[in-house]
Chains A and B, each alone.
Chain A
C-alpha cells in the first residue's frame, strides 16, 4: 500500500484556536495523520480549527472526502472549521465540491485568526 506523504503540525494560537499546518499530499492515505492532528487540536481545547493549506502539494478526491468527514466531526463537537492558504486551483475544487459552503476560506492566516479569534 502506498505510504502517506504528509506532515501535520498543530499550533495553538489562543485558548480556543488551533492551526493545523498541512505539508504534503492529502489523499486516502492521509486519514490517520489528519485525524490525529484533529484529536490533538481538540485535546488542546480548540473550538476553532484552522487548516493551513500553504504547504499543500497535492489533493485528490479521496482527500476531499477526508475533509468532509473532518467537517462532520467538528460540527458534531460544535467546533468551527475554517481554512486559508489554498491556491486558486484548490479554491475552485472547494467550489466544485461545494465544500466552500461549509468551510470558510480566508486568504491568509492573519485574516483567518482575525475572524475566529
Chain B
C-alpha cells in the first residue's frame, strides 16, 4: 500500500470511529423489556453543560499473565459489556454492538438514602461517542446523573495489558450533586467501575486490584446549569413508574393462555 493510500485509510478509520454529527440522541432499537426512557431526543452533554464540581476519575486494573493484545482485550470487553455490570444495573446495548452513534439503554437502581437498599429506579442511556480497536467512549444525555463521558480503554504498560475506565464529568443538576456529595452516589458510581474492571479481570482469569485516582478539575459548581433539574432522569423515571406498571399488567393480560403457561 502506498503512503497516500495508507494515509487515506487511516483517516477514514479515525473518522469512522466517531459518532456521526447529531444534536439529539436517537434510539435505533430497544428490547421490549427496556423502559427506554429519558434518552430519545435528548441532547448529548459534555462536562461543560453539567452543574456540579468537575471530576476526572481513573480506574485501572493490570491484567498480569493475560497473553492478549490490548485489541483482543477490548474486543472481549465490548462483547461482554452488559455482563460486567453489577446486578442492579441493566445495560441494553444495540444489536449491532458497540458502534459509534448507537445508544446503550441503562436501567439502574439507587438507594433513596444512604444505607438503604437499591430500590429507586433510574432509566437512562448513553451514546457511543467514539469507538476504535483499543477504546470506546460513551457520552451522557441531558437528565443523566452525570454530564460528561466515560472512556473504556486497554493499552500495554511495561509488558502488561492494562484495562482502564476514565470518567470525566460533573453532576448534571443540583439534586444529583447533593446525592453525590452527601448521600454516597459518587462512591456508588466508583463501585460500579471497580466491579466492571474486576469482572473483566475475572473473565480473563485475573484476580487483580483496581486502582483509582481522582482529580478535581473544577471545584466550582455552575449555577447557570441548575435548570437541568427539569430533565432529571431519576425524577422522571419515578413519575413514569405507574405507566410502566400499567403497561406491564396490560402485556400480561393480553398474552395468550399458552404463552402464560409456557412463559
Chain A residues with a Cβ under 8 A of chain B: 1-2, 28, 58, 60-62, 65, 68-69, 71-72, 75-76, 89, 92-93, 95-99, 101-102
Q: Is the CB of A102 within 8 A of B135?
A: no
Q: Which residue of A lies closest to B54 (CB)?
A: A72
The reply to whether the CB of B49 lies closer than 8 angstroms to some CB of chain A is yes
User: What 13 additional pairs, Cβ within 8 angstroms, besides A1-B155, A68-B48, A96-B22?
Assistant: A60-B14, A60-B17, A60-B132, A61-B149, A65-B151, A65-B168, A68-B47, A71-B48, A72-B54, A96-B19, A96-B129, A98-B44, A98-B48
The reply to whether the CB of B157 lies closer than 8 angstroms to some CB of chain A is yes
Q: Is the CB of B139 within 8 A of A95?
A: no
Taking residues whose C-beta sits less than 8 angstroms from the other chain, chain B's interface range is 35 or more
Q: Is the CB of A1 within 8 A of B156?
A: yes
Top 6 nearest A-B pairs (CB, nearest first) are: A61-B137, A61-B130, A92-B21, A72-B218, A98-B46, A1-B157
A-contact bits for B1-44, CB 8 A (1 contact / 0 none) = 00000000010001101110111000000000000000000011
**Given the known A-B contacts A65-B168, A72-B218, A96-B22, are A60 and B48 also in contact in the complex, defined by CB atoms under 8 Å?**
no
**Given the known A-B contacts A61-B130, A65-B149, are A96 and B18 also in contact in the complex, defined by CB atoms under 8 Å?**
yes
B135's contact among A58, A61, A98, by CB below 8 Å, is which? A61
The reply to whether the CB of B232 lies closer than 8 angstroms to some CB of chain A is no
Q: Which residue of B lies closest to A28 (CB)?
A: B153
Q: Is the CB of B151 within 8 A of A62?
A: yes
**Given the known A-B contacts A58-B14, A61-B129, are A96 and B44 also in contact in the complex, defined by CB atoms under 8 Å?**
yes
B23 CB contacts on chain A under 8 angstroms: 95
Q: CA A49 – CA B157 in complex, angstroms?
A: 33
Q: CA A72 – CA B10 in complex, angstroms?
A: 31
Most chain B beta carbons < 10 A, residue from A1, A2, A68, A102: A68
Q: Is the CB of B132 within 8 A of A76?
A: no
Minimal beta-carbon separation of A2 from chain B (angstroms): 7
Q: Is the CB of A99 within 8 A of B48?
A: yes
Minimal beta-carbon separation of A57 from chain B (angstroms): 9
Q: Is the CB of A97 within 8 A of B129?
A: yes
Minimal beta-carbon separation of B29 from chain A (angstroms): 21
Q: Is the CB of B54 within 8 A of A60?
A: no
The reply to whether the CB of B120 lies closer than 8 angstroms to some CB of chain A is no
B166 CB contacts on chain A under 8 angstroms: 62, 65
Q: CA A14 – CA B25 in complex, angstroms?
A: 43
Q: CA A102 – CA B15 in complex, angstroms?
A: 23
**Given the known A-B contacts A61-B130, A65-B149, are A89 and B15 also in contact in the complex, defined by CB atoms under 8 Å?**
yes
**Given the known A-B contacts A98-B45, A98-B49, are A72 and B14 also in contact in the complex, defined by CB atoms under 8 Å?**
no
Q: Is the CB of A60 within 8 A of B130?
A: yes
Q: CA A72 – CA B170 in complex, angstroms?
A: 12
A-B contact pairs, 25 of them (CB 8 A): A1-B156, A2-B155, A28-B153, A58-B14, A60-B14, A60-B17, A60-B132, A60-B135, A61-B129, A61-B130, A62-B166, A68-B47, A68-B168, A69-B168, A69-B217, A72-B54, A72-B217, A76-B218, A89-B15, A95-B21, A97-B46, A97-B129, A98-B43, A98-B45, A98-B48
Q: CA A92 – CA B22 in complex, angstroms?
A: 9
